[in-house]
Copies of this chain bind each other. A is one copy, B any other.
Amino acid sequence: MAQEQQLEVVNNGRTERTGWLLNSPDPPGFFHEIFSSTRRTILPHGTRNHSSLPKKSSASKAFSFLQGLFPILEWGRNYRATKFKRDLMAGLTLASLCIPQSIGYANLAKLDPQYGLYTSVVPPFIYAFMGSSREIAIGPVAVVSLLLSSLIQKVVDPAVDPVGYRRLVFTATFFTGTFQAVFGLFRLGFLVDFLSHATVVGFMGGAAIVIGLQQLKGLLGISHFTTKTDVISVLKAWYPLNFVLGCSFLIFILITRFIGRRNRKLFWLPAIAPLVSVILSTLFVYLTKADKHGINIVKHFKGGLNPSSVHELQFNSTHVAEAAKIGIICAVIALTEAIAVGRSFASVKGYHLDGNKEMVAMGFMNIIGSLTSCYVATGSFSRTAVNFTAGCETVVSNIVMATTVLVSLQLFTRLLYYTPLAILASIILSALPGLIDINEAYNIWKVDKLDFIVCVGAFLGVLFHSVEIGLLVAVVISFVKVIVGSIRPSTEVLGRVPGTSTFSNVIQYPMATKVPGLLIIRINSGSLCFANANSIRERILLRILRLLGDENEENGKDNIRVLVLDISNVMGIDTSAIIALEELHRELVSRGIELAFASPKWQVMSKLKLAKFVDKVGRGRFFLNVEDAIDVFFDPNMSASALHNC
């Protein structure tokens, strides 16, 4: 007993720690993990704790449920007139930018202009009640408009069958909303993450160039519609008067933006410039009767409230599968933009945005939108920035904006008859530079070359083939990157960082010290599996053979006695890898080299125990950290024979 105690003192509790490692409780089993991960995915977080709370009355329960669904019930109670004043100003600024943009984007979506305005009325209202972002500006956006038209015109040509085209747009919008709501309800928000940052940067850039080339058509005054979105079919003849008018106002808008950037107080100038352009150019055409001289004008413009489109949805047509497919693509793209926008502003203001709740809100706003003649709405990056700069406090600015658009629809739409198409093109064109983020692409190149390939893949795919192919290419490259990164066999030799018990890469830290006769190798692959275990085994063995046999090594011939394998980075191991480790063990034993394992992860340790690998190698060969492993082999108080009794 006394001797045992002394040994305990000598080895500083190492034996006890090895005991902790070997006898730690079992990690959650496979089925338990599947179950708990499903539960965590389906059920909202925090459910676990609710059971221990004092029971609420059912009325108060219902109210807190409603509060969860409609956040307005929560913040609405603290809403004050001072806040409203700021929201009112922001909302009016937003509306002045939103009206011309909506008309332009409807044009991009190959719909009549009023549908863009409709989309700026109903979805913002719904979102105001259900959403939790305070800054996001809801409405039609350029990329989704392009996406919708490029996907749907493959099924129905809007020039040939405009009614059928519109019906398919509403049906696709309904599916978009449904998918978004389902993503949110079943907490599948991670699906949106599959579009990586690099994908989004490349995709947005490609889409912006495609939109730009399409809009050049409007600016040049070409009236012929093409159903394709690629570069070549868009470049056609031009008509000078439209071009001069469009360019003049494009320059005007760009100058106001430049001024707005130089002087923060004049932020409203670029925001109202598009509306001013529309009013001025419309007046110009009306007064000079320029439409008789070749200026293309909007013409079709139906005013009034959003009409119902319930009967326009088609669920029994042959196109329903197409509509669902388009719906899922639009759902993901729209959510990607909205959540990126919402989250970045939420983190500036320091509140937390629940992605899944946002998806439910977006879903419902699009479902109800599809029943009231709206197409897919989402959070617009440029308008959200304006809303934020204009000092919005809550989502009430969206309500103000929607009301303003509604009033305009009732009163002023008749006046938009003479609006030149070239102006709409110049408004859309002026919004595009914000989508092409060359700086960010350069940053991606600097930080991660493979990510840059993803970015370029998305860009070129969208530009030269189609939106879907661009996204598919980027997602596939992204996942191949994950696989390659995970199974790349990577090992590093460790040394002790002076003054610590940390062991680090000896190339990264040249000051790290090695112990003669000892080799510490860390496996740097998260998953030690069939695809890399043999390469890693071979690498380790070759390094040892070289050290043993090669007299040309810098340090001269090193008589390696012990190999400590730091497997702290190995998060998962499969049966092929365990067999490779067994082979490595046999190969080392036959060369008289001791093998020890340091810092195995919980799941890995459990699998090694289940596979009887721990018993084969010896229970005393597993250590909590590298230091303990070294101490055992190089501690004069601990004989090698004691090792086997551990």
Contacts and interface: CB of A to CB of B under 8 A. Distances in A.
A231 interface: no
Interface string A132-161: 000000000000000000000000000000
A508 B602 contact: yes
Contacts of A509: 20, 24
B448 A575 contact: yes
Contact of A348 (B501, B538, B586, B625): B586
A451 B486 contact: no
Nearest to A505: B602
A479 interface: yes
Nearest to A13: B499
A578 interface: yes
What is the count of identical protomers in the complex?
2
A61 interface: no
Interface string A177-207: 0000000000000100111111100000000
B525 A526 contact: yes
Contacts of A575: 196-198, 443-444, 447-448, 451
B525 A343 contact: no
Interface string A524-556: 111101111111001001100110001010000
A343 B586 CA distance: 11
Contact of A451 (B483, B490, B574): B574
A601 B507 CA distance: 12
A17 interface: yes
A7 B231 CA distance: 64
A541 to B, nearest CB: 6
A17 B497 contact: yes
Interface string A547-570: 000101000000000000000110
A344 interface: yes
A461 interface: no
Contacts of A355: 534, 538
Contacts of A497: 17, 20, 624
A13 B448 CA distance: 33
B527 A486 contact: yes
A556 to B, nearest CB: 13
A526 B523 CA distance: 11
Interface stretch (A45-53, A72-80, A281-289): A45-53
A255 interface: no
A434 interface: no
Contact of A571 (B502, B569, B599): B569
A110 interface: no
A530 B203 CA distance: 15
Contact of A574 (B198, B538, B599): B198
Contacts of A534: 190, 193, 355
B527 A482 contact: yes
Interface string A493-511: 0000111111011011111
A12 interface: yes
Nearest to A502: B625
B478 A482 contact: no
A595 to B, nearest CB: 13
A193 B197 CA distance: 33
Nearest to A591: B350
A155 to B, nearest CB: 31
A167 B17 CA distance: 66
Nearest to A193: B534
Interface string A394-427: 0000000000000000000000000000000000
Given A352-B587, A485-B571, A578-B447, A502 B624 contact: yes
Contact of A49 (B350, B448, B552): B552
Given A444-B575, A568-B568, A601-B524, A482 B531 contact: yes
A312 interface: no
Among A30, A197, A343, A511: residue with most chain B CB under 10 A: A197
A3 to B, nearest CB: 20
Contacts of A450: 30, 574
A244 interface: no
Nearest to A45: B542
A449 interface: yes
Among A198, A199, A447, A545: residue with most chain B CB under 10 A: A447
Contacts of A583: 343-344, 347
A590 interface: yes
Contact of A483 (B53, B479, B532, B578): B479
A217 interface: no
A526 B486 contact: yes
Given A20-B511, A552-B53, A572 B498 contact: no
A586 B350 contact: yes
A312 to B, nearest CB: 36
21 contacts: A17-B499, A17-B500, A20-B509, A24-B509, A30-B450, A31-B449, A45-B542, A196-B574, A197-B530, A197-B574, A198-B575, A344-B583, A350-B587, A355-B538, A443-B611, A447-B575, A482-B483, A500-B625, A504-B624, A568-B569, A569-B569
Interface of A: 12-13, 17, 20, 24-25, 27, 30-31, 45-46, 49, 52-53, 190, 193-199, 343-344, 347-350, 352, 355, 443-444, 446-451, 478-479, 481-483, 485-487, 490, 497-502, 504-505, 507-511, 524-527, 529-535, 538, 541-542, 545-546, 550, 552, 568-569, 571-576, 578-579, 583, 586-587, 590-591, 599, 601-602, 607, 610-611, 624-625, 627-628
